[in-house]
A = this chain, B = another copy of it.
Amino acid sequence: MRIDDESLKGLLRARGLRVTEPRVAVLAYLASTDRHPTAEDVETAINANGQVLSRASVYNVLHSLTRAGLVAGMSVTDGAARYDAHVAPHHHLLCRTCGRVEDVPWQDFGIAERGVLPDGRSVRTLALTLDGVCNACC
């Protein structure tokens, strides 16, 4: 999904973040894919466009965007953290064949809504991780 840079800059400003080239580039890239890229993927993709973005900056930017709620990070077993500009609640399917991380429609199970487990422990957010096989891998 191609979003023009002006909208992205508006998003950054709206969250009180300074508008910088690295931030716009990272956010644009993450918004353009549903592949849940790693920090390294982000660095590679952006530097392929002629820019030079240091590894440390990739992490800096990912952290500010995450703190601002524009991006969500997730840790999958073994390996690098992955990032998602799709911040509306949803679950993930980790394909055991190709390693891809795919989206799964949101379901609340009535838990987050109540905010409390039957035994009284309180719940802020929940995430379901499915270990299975994606459509591409049949």
Contacts and interface: CB of A to CB of B under 8 A. Distances in A.
Contacts of A134: 121
A52 interface: no
**This chain: copies in complex:** 2
A111 to B, nearest CB: 7
A124 to B, nearest CB: 5
Interface residues of A, number: 33
B123 A132 contact: yes
A36 to B, nearest CB: 14
Contact of A75 (B73, B78, B102, B120): B78
A74 interface: yes
A133 B116 CA distance: 10
Interface in A27-68: none
A102 B120 CA distance: 13
A19 interface: no
Interface of A: 73-78, 81, 93, 96, 102, 104, 107, 109, 111-112, 117, 119-135
